[in-house]
């Protein structure tokens, strides 16, 4: 998944030590909870050598996992998970929505009002349903029960651009990935299209092309459209991040570094 996930180039990887780059197989089961545990352990190790580390991303959920942590949820029987996956394959997202509404009506209502796009996210919905069914308790009953402590103070930096600039750069990025061989990469991954790791923008759309559902041109347009939608959701998510300082993406890096240094002095004074 080198091209579709924009893995840093060899030159970029050599410019500074990187972690969690192509460290998992698409065949491994891996959750955001797994990432939280591994990232915190890695940070504990890295902070023994330096008191400043840089995390770059990415998915808002994974960022929150490191900055704030998650609630504790019970282990779910693998048979429950398999049955939910099978029912989803047969009945689609509507099945998951109906199950969540039945087993956790309050949380379903909350999502409907505050975060309706989550109701269209199969991976998130599967998790809500499997916890509710597997534990016999509403998913929402486990939220807010655990207080996570971190041994670091985050200094959060956001880079932003005008919406038109961002969308134009997204379109150019998709064209560049195709020039670099995204179509061939997706074709090689196509036999494994049902894996969770491949339920992502850039691959799903090309799988539809291989399935004969859309033309290649339409698949490419769908990648651009869905990436723009994803970026819009990222903006909404990250704008809610507490104490984040936002800079235009063209801001001279020295200004950003000065801000970080000033915050570091404040937090350590």
DSSP states of 83-103 as a string? Answer: HHHHHHHHH-HHHHHHHHHHH
Q: Within 13 Å, how many C-alpha atoms sit on residue 164's CB side?
A: 0
Percent of the chain with pLDDT over 90: 72
**Plot region of 150 (φ>0 → left; ψ -120 to 50 → alpha; else → beta):** beta
What integer is the mean pLDDT of 181-189? Answer: 97
The band of 216, judged by pLDDT with boundaries at 50, 70 and 90, is: very high
Statement: residue 196 has pLDDT above 90: no
For residue 181, the enclosing domain spans 10-19+151-267
Please tell me whether residues 260 and 203 are part of one structural domain.
Answer: yes
pLDDT band for 250, please (50, 70, 90 cuts): very high
Q: What are the helix (H) ranges across 180-252?
A: 182-189, 204-210, 216-238
| pLDDT of 142 over the 90 cut | no
Residues 203, 126 share a domain: no
Higher pLDDT, residue 269 or 63: 63
- CATH of residue 107's domain is 1.10.20
Picking from 124, 128, 99, 101, the residue whose alpha carbon sits closest to that of residue 112 is 101
pTM of the predicted model as reported, rounded to 2 decimal places: 0.75
Q: How many domains does the chain have?
A: 2
**Are 167 and 261 contained in the same domain?**
yes
- Report pLDDT digits (tens) over 75-107: 888 899 999 999 999 999 999 999 999 999 999
pLDDT over threshold 80, residue 144 = no
Using a pLDDT cut of 70, give the percent of the chain over it: 99
Q: What is the pLDDT of residue 33?
A: 83
Residues 169 and 126 in one domain: no
The pLDDT of residue 146: 66
Residue 174 lies in a domain: yes
The 10s digit of each residue's pLDDT in 165-176 is 999 999 999 999
The residue with greater pLDDT, 197 or 38, is 38
Structure confidence at residue 147 (pLDDT): 62
132 and 234 belong to one structural domain: no
8 A C-beta contact, residue 46 and residue 66: no
> What is the average pLDDT across 176-201?
94
Confidence of residue 203 (pLDDT cuts 50, 70, 90): very high
Q: Which of the residue ranges 27-31, 64-68, 187-191, 239-243 has the most confident prediction, judged by mean pLDDT? A: 187-191
């Amino acid at each position: 998944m080198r091209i579709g996930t924009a893995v840093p180039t060899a030159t970029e990887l050599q410019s500074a030590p990187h972690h969690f780059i192509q460290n998992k197989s698409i065949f491994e089961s891996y959750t955001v909870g797994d990432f939280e545990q591994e990232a915190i352990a890695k940070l504990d190790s890295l902070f023994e050598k330096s008191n400043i580390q840089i995390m770059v991303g990415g998915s808002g959920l994974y960022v929150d996992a490191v900055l704030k942590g998650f609630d504790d949820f019970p282990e779910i029987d693998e048979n429950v998970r398999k049955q939910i996956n099978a029912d989803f394959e047969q009945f689609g997202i509507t099945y998951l929505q109906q199950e969540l509404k039945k087993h956790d009506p309050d949380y379903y209502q909350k999502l409907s009002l505050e975060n309706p796009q989550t109701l269209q996210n199969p991976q998130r919905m599967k998790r809500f349903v499997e916890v509710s069914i597997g534990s016999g308790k509403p998913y929402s009953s486990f939220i807010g029960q655990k207080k996570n402590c971190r041994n670091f103070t985050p200094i959060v930096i956001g880079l932003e651009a005008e919406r038109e600039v961002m969308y134009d750069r997204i379109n150019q990025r998709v064209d560049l990935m195709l020039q670099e061989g995204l179509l061939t990469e997706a074709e090689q991954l196509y036999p494994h299209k049902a894996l969770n790791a491949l339920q992502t923008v850039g691959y799903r759309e090309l799988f539809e092309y291989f399935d004969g559902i859309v033309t290649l041109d339409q698949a490419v347009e769908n990648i651009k459209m869905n990436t723009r939608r994803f970026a819009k959701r990222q903006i909404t998510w990250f704008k809610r991040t507490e104490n984040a300082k936002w800079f235009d993406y063209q801001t001279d890096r020295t200004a950003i570094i000065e801000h970080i240094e000033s915050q570091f002095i404040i937090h350590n004074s």
